[in-house]
Amino acid sequence: MKDKLPALSFFSGCLGLDLGLEKAGFRTVFACEFDKNCQQTIKKNKPSLPIVPDILDCDRFSIRKLAGLSAKERPSLIFGGPPCQAFSTAGKRQAFTDPRGNVFLKYIDLIGELLPDFAVIENVRGLLSASLKHRPLNSRGTELAYLDEDEVPGSALNLVLNRLKNFGYKYSFNLYNSANYGVPQIRERVFLIASLKGSKPPYIAPTHSDHPEFGLPGWVTFREAIKGLRENKMTFTRFPESRLRYYRMLKSGQYWKDLASIDLQKEALGKSYFSGGGKTGFLRRIDWNRPCPTLVTSPTMPATDLAHPQKDRPLSIEEYKRIQQFPDSWNLAGDITSQYRQLGNAVPVGMGQALGRTLRLLIEKKCPSKIPHGFFFSRYKNTDEDSWSFLYKKTACCSKDSQLSLTF
């Protein structure tokens, strides 16, 4: 492999994406991270890496100076995952009217100022359908006013894409399941790759699959991921006894619906039993022989429990590290709550490495890895830039409630 290429990291967190890209031949020379505990984590593990706390304080001159880049030197890569809460389907969907959305636009502006060869945006699925201005569902209907252009689902991403095009970038994006890249976790996130030179970037070729017909190795299981960890070395929070009572009735891979009777299920879930949705995160024991579900920022929240397959406890910090593919020796700053949050927010190292391999092939002008015919990158449809663009244009042109048809 040639010398490692300089890369600028934004919204760096505890450096999951950085570690993966480094495995593929990149070298982080600048980091930007607002969270103080994440800053301390970076300093513990990479003491020489320059860190700027607030992206709003960044400009191309200060970044170049801190990163050791000359005035004319173009960075090979800028990458980052702007805060996703503004776009999350679980949030208020405020998009760019949320202060966290503003830092997203600042990130895009810095791409335009620095003009790296490649830029990467990582985000939640909600980015695909987020609008610049959100109209509550109870304010929509056939008898109400048309949606404004900024209220059309997908208008936030459309703004980002138009800015990238104006800077001269070609791009591709898709919703990728990390389990398809050797990560012991079913975690679906959008990755957008923008290229300043050449043609539209290819998709990230999978290395694993849950379907034997594609001829790839099977998904990595939770059992494989935590092999060698010792129970007496685990650090974890605890479930309340009121929840443990039901966990003792469940086995690996089971959840509340596997409780012995309807009465027990109603008792265990309380009022949540009558709420909508599948409620698959309640009283959930990890399956030994499957990848872990998406790691969350706390494994003990009632609706997103992450319990050990056998032990009466949530997943530990050490298990979180393995599932996110951090080294066992990776030092995390802050209390246990902060450590769970840092790891839960991180990009899995293996996903970053797969992304990095794709970028290296483009840089070295080599043929991209082949993607098996008919391969699905995630559970959802219409998540690539071509089908998304078709649906967005169709949605934006329609009137009244037909504008709400953009779904993924």
The CB density around residue 197, as the number of other CB atoms within 10 Å, is 11
**Under 8 Å between Cβ of 31 and 42:** yes
Kindly report the CA angle at 179 between 374 and 250, in degrees rounded to 5?
A: 120
Q: Quick one: what percent of the chain has pLDDT higher than 90?
A: 81
Residue 66 confidence (pLDDT) above 90: yes
Mean local confidence (pLDDT), 26-43: 98
* Catalytic residue ranges: 84
- Give the list of residues 6+ apart from residue 41 with CB closer than 8 angstroms, or none: 14, 15, 331, 332, 333, 334, 342
- 218 pLDDT band (50/70/90 cuts)? very high
What does the DSSP assignment read for 317-368? HHHHHHHHT--TT----S-HHHHHHHHHHSPPHHHHHHHHHHHHHHHTT-PP
Mean local confidence (pLDDT), 55-64: 95
pLDDT digits (tens, 9 = 90+) for 36-46: 999 999 999 99
The pLDDT assigned to 71 comes to: 86
Q: Pick the closest to residue 30 from 66, 62, 4 (CA basis).
A: 66
The pLDDT assigned to 112 comes to: 97
CA distance 112 to 168: 9
CA distance 315 to 295: 10
pLDDT digits (tens, 9 = 90+) for 271-294: 999 998 889 999 999 999 999 999
pLDDT digits (tens, 9 = 90+) for 167-184: 999 999 999 999 999 999
Take residue 154 and report the two structure tokens written for it: 């997908």
Tell me, which fold does domain 5-217+348-405 have in CATH? Rossmann fold (3.40.50)
CATH 3.40.50.150 residue spans of the chain: 5-217+348-405
Distance of CA 91 to the CA centre of its chain: 16
The pLDDT assigned to 198 comes to: 82
245 exposed, middle or buried (CB, 10 Å; 0-12, 13-18, 19+)? middle
- The region, left, alpha or beta by phi > 0 then psi within -120 to 50, assigned to residue 325 is left
Residue 157 confidence (pLDDT) above 60: yes
The pLDDT assigned to 1 comes to: 46
The pLDDT assigned to 141 comes to: 54
Q: What is the mean pLDDT of the chain?
A: 91
Residue 49 confidence (pLDDT) above 70: yes
Task: Report how far apart the first and last C-alpha atoms of the chain are (Å, whole number).
Answer: 38
Take residue 349 and report the two structure tokens written for it: 């190292």
